[in-house]
Structure 1
């Protein structure tokens, strides 16, 4: 019997020792896992976020500059950035397709001067400041506000509807349109674009620069439709201004050897009076600005040039 008791006691001691060793082993393993960063759910999430940030930083930089035809406002409100930038504008679509890191400084109502120098009206830095030596792609859509293209057209449409007894929301029929732009105004657009392209190359010698001109509101075939409330002579005036703006842009692209995306040509099949418009009609939100289809269409034109 004594030997039996001794054996039982000895077995109990062995079991206890094994249990202590097992507990210590688990503790040591847990400590090592924590120290090595092996993964708790929280730590895995933080690691994933860090990897995403690193991957984003590794993407090539793309800077988009220009006016509302680039910023692509989705409503009459200018939004928190006071520039009317939408998440589906052509810069976002292009950057997503190319996997680039977008810096979008486009701004509704901006002129070519706002690209070169700080905007006093909206208290914004020069859009050009976004271009740095690591920039690899720059798109530019500007000049329309320099000649009062869409603003003038909207005022004319408002007055025309008021004369017909209709008063759309945000339509000030007493406002006068800006003067008709003259040839010198369009040559100024060319000179400004030349300055912008040269300034971009100086800041980012390895950047690919693409000038994107404006979608046309109308053609001479669009003399009458509900979305274009204008007198025939006003439609002719609108077409002339649009074509003159496209020519000014083309002159700059040729002089600076810059890639030109001719939205002004492709958009002739998608005017406000067409069955598949790329621009909103009047009154729109905002009027005479790219629709979702228009943003997608221009983005594809740019991608076709780049690929």
Structure 2
């Protein structure tokens, strides 16, 4: 049986997508790793945790919803055949920056914290592109050292703000801020690509940012949740992949694995 490990943050874990199989990690049983494993009849070790940074994958424990998660690398089986990795967005405060545009939400959270008598969590300074390249490279090298026979597959973040996203209508900010957030997404994609490129003998990148350009917020067939009050009431997680997005990623992964079965005779 093929052994798959899945490492990453919320775009990998799948918050807001039922069934939630680990509420502390906000991890869905229908994220792309689970969908791929089901299709391949593979053994999956899912280590993804929402809000994880690359540091939480490599060497820094993460506290989420009252539970402490050890660095994800520690859970990777040494005999893994495939290791899926998605990360870097939280290091750059990509989605966090989008949430900051919702000033009413920030004000409400501040009031709640004041009533509770607690201080808001400290927000780390966003890492720049060069730092994310360094962190990502460290993660990839550690995976290869731990599971040297594994194919390491890096999945890019799905596009949130695509050509169909209308400022002031689909999102609560103007065209200038839209370009700002799109620029951060572009830096994240660039950092991901540059981290993978020198490791191409055993690591590959799945260009989901490009493949999902026409499936962002405001598109006819979005692969991500938007930021409406109705979505929030339904328990959806703003600015994150939806069920269709997870299925799309799983399909791309499945086709790639099937076409490149060298060393994976178990499939």
Bigger mean CA offset, 257-266 vs 111-120 = 111-120
- 1:202 corresponding residue in structure 2: 145
Q: 1:302 aligns with which of 249, 253, 267?
A: 253
Pair 1:217-2:166 in alignment: no
- 2:97 corresponding residue in structure 1: 152
How many correspondences in the alignment? 236
- In the superposition, the TM-score normalised over structure 2's length comes to 0.81
- 1:293 corresponding residue in structure 2: 244
- Alignment partners' CA distance in 1, 2:205 and 2:83: 12
Larger Rg: 1
Pair 1:172-2:106 in alignment: yes
- 2:191 corresponding residue in structure 1: 248
Change (3 A) 1:269 1:201: same
| 1:238 CA drift (Å) | 1.1
Change (3 A) 1:67 1:223: same
- 1:142 corresponding residue in structure 2: 87
- Alignment partners' CA distance in 2, 1:79 and 1:96: 15
Higher relative contact order (CA 8 A, sep 6+): 2
SS in 2 for 1:237: helix
Cα contact 2:171–2:227 (8 A) shared by 1: yes
- Alignment partners' CA distance in 2, 1:79 and 1:225: 35
Cα contact 1:194–1:252 (8 A) shared by 2: yes
- 2:59 corresponding residue in structure 1: 117
| Unpaired segments ≥5 residues, structure 1 | 1-58, 163-170
Change (3 A) 1:148 1:61: same
- Alignment partners' CA distance in 1, 2:216 and 2:99: 15
- 1:94 corresponding residue in structure 2: 36
- 2:128 corresponding residue in structure 1: 185
Deviations 1:140-194 (A, max 9, x none): 00000001111110120x12xx4xxxxxxxx234679x7995xx61111111111
| 1:253 CA drift (Å) | 1.1
| 1:225 CA drift (Å) | 6.1
- In the superposition, the TM-score normalised over structure 1's length comes to 0.71
Higher helix share goes to which structure? 1
Higher strand share goes to which structure? 2
| Unpaired segments ≥5 residues, structure 2 | 111-122, 259-267
Deviations 1:232-262 (A, max 9, x none): 1111111111111001000011021121001
- 2:175 corresponding residue in structure 1: 232
